[in-house]
Structure 1
Amino acid sequence: MDVILVLDHAHINGGQAKVAIESALGLAGRGHRVQVFAAVGPVDPRLAAAGVAVTCLDQPDIATTTSKLAFAAQMLWNGRARDALAQALRGRDPGDTLVHVHAWAKSLSPSVFAAIAEAGLPAVYTMHEFFLVCPNGGFYDYQRHAICHRRPMSRSCVTTNCDMRSYPRKAMRVARHLLLEHAAHWPDGIRDVITISALQEGVVGPLLPPALRLHRVDNPISVPDLGPKAAPAQGPVVYVGRLSIEKGVGLFAEAARLAGITPVLVGDGPEAEAIRGRYPDAVLLGWRDAAGVREALRDASALVFPSIWYEGQPLTVYEALALGTPVVVSDACAGREAVADGQTGYWFPSGDAAALAERLRRLRDPATVAALSAEAHRRYWQRPLTLERHLDRLEEVYGLVARRVALERAAPGRRGRAQSGLAPG
């Protein structure tokens, strides 16, 4: 097939781009003709080496823009991206072409959906976040530091300042969402959505158009099988990721204090100085590269994943389990789906430092850690989330979508009957 992957960044700057670029390389390796369409450079050099064509507009994102006013217009409706994508899709054969959108909210804007709808090609969207339904993309109130249960775009939603920075930025996001729905008409071009966790499906399912189809495709995890650990209880209890309030890093530090252990944090972010000031015994190691993160996870006796917001499929949880490291995870995020409570780690009630501390005390017993570690490693490698499995499932979904579009084109009027109801892929 001709596969066009649409994403904000042409390089790996986070989980979304990592999944998109690795799948591009993998699909090209399987003989598909792959093109990456992105707004923000630089371009990952592996793409050209693998024969992947790249269209990069060399536009800014919020972190690199030199003009906030100009970027505000780009964020609302990136006309250049719309025109360039429309040109890239024009004249393509719908019989063997598929458009796959991974990310648009950091630079591309809703305009890309207008180009996709106009092209009429088979298309899918991977919901790495919640921007299709929630204006701030996370169902999270950054002012209250709590999961938001308001109905998106309701009066209560629109009038509430839930943004990380300010209400004017929330108003911009509301305006962008109106453009997504009423100018880009995204469901006209995207009628199949890839989800990455059961929690995500439960959150967004009632909010999506009833004719939309959901397809579950797990993200790939790049971890070698190092075998069971020799001494699983010797390392520290660690956190890996961005040091921010919604990630629960302060909760972890407080629970560690209550449990009488030293918290070790790998990463950086806006809460770093607050953690240093309030918890002087905490060890902050800063950012590490992929090899450094893998080493920290392998050496740890346990990973704590205390996120207090929805997370679609936190890759760090799976990486830890693959390395034989048990995980203590908040029950509010999809990471819980990877952890068998009491067997490969523990769940704890989200936001409850005392409950988390109680789980951490259980990890003082070397025999408990050894049992959790062995089972974590065994269970993960029974069905590992490899790139090959990810690509197998992607090709299956691509085929389903392409065949249905072909049937609809051959039999006008069939589309509405074929999409009566939300159906899993």
Structure 2
Amino acid sequence: MMLERVVIINDEAVASGGAAALALLSARLLYEAGIPVTFLSGDSGADFSLHGDDIEAAGLGSAPLLKLPVHKRIINGAYNIAAHKAIRRYVQENDTPGTIYHVHAWAQILSPSIFSALRPVHDRLIVSAHDFTLVCPNGSYANFNKNTVCELTPLSRQCLASSCDKRRYADKLWRFARSWLRTQLLDLSNSNCTIASIHPMMNSWLERGGIPRERIKTVLNPVKPFAKARIMAENNSDIFFIGRLEFEKGVDIAAEAAHRVGRKLRVIGDGAFRAELLRRYPDVQWEGWRTHDEINKLLQDARFVVMPSRLPEPFGLVAHESLQSGIPVVAFKTAFVANEAHQLGCGIEAQQPDASSLADAFAKLDDDTTVHQMSQRAFELSPRLANTPQSWCNEFIALYRSRLVEQERPEANPFPVRTPAAQPAQPLSGSV
């Protein structure tokens, strides 16, 4: 079966986060590979950055949950009727035997309703697991109240009773109900769709949530290093944190640990936790959000990069970007990259998610010779831990084609089919 088109489905058509950036990157790379692409988003699609290319794009026109009134947030977050109708209509009017559907982020606008609309084409459906939202109600396998990694089975009675949400138990109950609803709309334990994990260490966690291992395919994320030449970390002294300033990212732990060892912490990023962080740790140097090239310039002063997340980190893009630039990484052992970097001799694992353990890890990088050796190993060896953009795209193309080969389509297609329109798709509408 020939690969005729890839339909990419994502909450937003702008690179507001890691999943969206990857969805947009995949659209561009697939187009450059000569594969027709349609990009369907939950937002208006007005900021779609690939309009210059011949890529179909359509937007639903919905807003992210946090921008909606509370009552609409509860309803739309659980089941966005407009999203269901729009995706169902697209499938009815455009589906072909050679069309692949690839879902990236869906939890902030589109909701579980899209899985009901995609059920008729589940044998040609790929769902990227950028985190654990597909299986875990709070999306992270973390108990925010206890500051621990959750070992419970998702959607079990023990899971229902666990007050693990970072806000309140009522929010946990809503998230639990939404996750349960998703299993009813498309049971991933009993469907032919493929779950694309971003790291092999994710797979057992996804299995715990009911996804059969044979339905999971690992495709490592693409990485573009900050620097092309090795940054000589052994000549530097500053610690860098790169990312969103949210409590779960643990930047306050890094600030306390840096204070204990007498090193400067420089923070690239922004978020709701910034004011509290700078109030508690006025010696932190805040750099704000920066472009990839600007980060490269700042990291010329980096001795190492810290990733102190309180949550399990399935990939850790900034850690990989730093390692491939020759900068050692310090992270808690719940970050998957921490174990890999430690094994390659270019990273340090902090055993416990607290400032004392992190400060001990920082102290191991006081020796210039040690840092020099780790920097060289990071630059030379860490690229094996990730894909390049091109190899990432090639792996997905191979996955798409394998799904078309494996599929067993019924003789009677439940939806009327026509060939994809040559003109850009019209805006999606909740009334369709």
CA apart distance, 1:223: 3.1
Q: What code does the residue aligned with 1:27 have?
A: L
Q: What code does the residue aligned with 1:326 have?
A: P
Residue correspondences, number: 409
2:381 aligned with 1:379: yes
CA apart distance, 1:263: 1.8
Q: Which residue of 1 is the match for residue 63 of structure 2?
A: 60
Report the more deviating stretch, 322-331 or 365-374: 365-374
Q: What code does the residue aligned with 1:72 have?
A: I
What whole-Å deviation, never above 9, does each CA across 1:13-41 have from its counterpart, x for those lacking one? 00000111101110011111101111024
CA apart distance, 1:142: 1.9
Partners of 2:385 and 2:214 lie apart in 1 by: 29
Q: Which residue of 2 is the match for residue 413 of structure 1?
A: none
Identity score, percent: 27
2:289 aligned with 1:279: no
Could you tell me whether the CA contact under 8 Å between 2:189 and 2:212 is conserved in 1? no
2:117 aligned with 1:125: no
Partners of 1:232 and 1:52 lie apart in 2 by: 46
2:34 aligned with 1:31: yes
Q: What code does the residue aligned with 1:247 have?
A: K
Q: Which residue of 2 is the match for residue 11 of structure 1?
A: 14
Could you tell me whether the CA contact under 8 Å between 1:114 and 1:185 is conserved in 2? no
Partners of 2:381 and 2:149 lie apart in 1 by: 31
Could you tell me whether the CA contact under 8 Å between 2:233 and 2:327 is conserved in 1? no
**Match 2:363 to one of 361, 364, 373:** 361
Using CA pairs under 8 Å that are at least 6 residues apart, name the structure with larger relative contact order, 1 or 2: 2
Report the more deviating stretch, 312-321 or 144-153: 144-153
TM-score of the pair, normalised by structure 2: 0.88
Q: Which residue of 1 is the match for residue 184 of structure 2?
A: 182
2:159 aligned with 1:157: yes
What whole-Å deviation, never above 9, does each CA across 1:198-238 have from its counterpart, x for those lacking one? 22112122332437511110111233652223564224111
What whole-Å deviation, never above 9, does each CA across 1:321-377 have from its counterpart, x for those lacking one? 121111112111122254134721211213143232122123222222222112211
Could you tell me whether the CA contact under 8 Å between 1:5 and 1:102 is conserved in 2? yes
Q: Which residue of 1 is the match for residue 264 of structure 2?
A: 262
**Cα gap change, 1:230 to 1:309, in 2 (>3 Å):** closer
Describe the SS at the equivalent of 1:90.
Answer: helix
Partners of 1:232 and 1:141 lie apart in 2 by: 37
**Cα gap change, 1:52 to 1:232, in 2 (>3 Å):** farther
Partners of 1:268 and 1:28 lie apart in 2 by: 33
**Cα gap change, 1:398 to 1:171, in 2 (>3 Å):** same
Q: What code does the residue aligned with 2:273 have?
A: E
Q: Which residue of 1 is the match for residue 104 of structure 2?
A: 102
Q: Which stretches in structure 1 are left out of the alignment for 5+ residues?
A: 411-425
Partners of 2:193 and 2:210 lie apart in 1 by: 10
Q: Which stretches in structure 2 are left out of the alignment for 5+ residues?
A: 413-432
Report the more deviating stretch, 145-154 or 98-107: 145-154
**Match 2:197 to one of 174, 195, 198:** 195
Report the more deviating stretch, 108-117 or 281-290: 281-290
Report the more deviating stretch, 289-298 or 7-16: 289-298
CA apart distance, 1:159: 2.4
Q: What code does the residue aligned with 2:379 have?
A: H
Partners of 2:248 and 2:307 lie apart in 1 by: 11
CA apart distance, 1:256: 1.4
**Match 1:334 to one of 330, 336, 339:** 336
TM-score of the pair, normalised by structure 1: 0.89
What whole-Å deviation, never above 9, does each CA across 1:266-298 have from its counterpart, x for those lacking one? 222333233323323222222223333333334
Partners of 1:224 and 1:200 lie apart in 2 by: 25
Q: Which residue of 2 is the match for residue 415 of structure 1?
A: none
Describe the SS at the equivalent of 1:86.
Answer: helix
Partners of 2:297 and 2:190 lie apart in 1 by: 46
CA apart distance, 1:93: 5.0
Q: Which residue of 1 is the match for residue 346 of structure 2?
A: 344
